[in-house]
Amino acid sequence: MADMVKELNTLLADYQVLYQKLRNYHWNITGENFFELHLKFEELYTGVAVTVDDIAERVRALGAKPLSTLKDQLAAARLKEDETVPDGRTMVANLLADYESLDGWLRTAAADADSAKDVPSRDLLEGIIGGEAKTMWMLRTFLGR
């Protein structure tokens, strides 16, 4: 279970970075798509907050401690913060890239959970994958892909 805890904590860290990136974009979006993207980013960070909580609670259920400080989360995260304030289209493209990265990591972790016969972790991860698929489709569609 130590490997699964490590994977879950890394995903927790990644989602914390995504959460803050979404907040940054929500607060700083300007331009012609302001209304649409301002609302979409809020919707997304609200959903990510639930994902963060679910992953942290699964780590606790496995008898371990979730990464709980920003310092520890930033050190463990594979996703990177965006210290810039790009235009709305670039924001969406950046988020799509993050969600695509997360999708691969989630699928790997779900397969690892399945191999370890950790059904609750596998089910949690597969549920997240399903929800993120719609998000990626919507982001791609916004970009005309």
Query: What pLDDT, on a 0 to 100 scale, did the predictor assign at position 14?
Result: 98
DSSP 117: T
Q: Which of 142, 145, 111 is nearest to 125 (CA)?
A: 111
Give CA–CA dist 33/23, Å, rounded. Answer: 16
Query: What pLDDT, on a 0 to 100 scale, did the predictor assign at position 1?
Result: 82
- Supply φ then ψ for residue 32, to 5 degrees: -65, -25
Complete domains list, the chain, with CATH: 2-142 (1.20.1260.10)
Give CA–CA dist 84/5, Å, rounded. Answer: 32
Per-residue pLDDT of the chain (145 residues; tens, 9 = 90+): 889 999 999 999 999 999 999 999 999 999 999 999 999 999 999 999 999 999 999 999 999 999 999 999 999 999 999 999 999 999 999 999 999 999 999 999 999 999 999 999 999 999 999 999 999 999 999 999 9
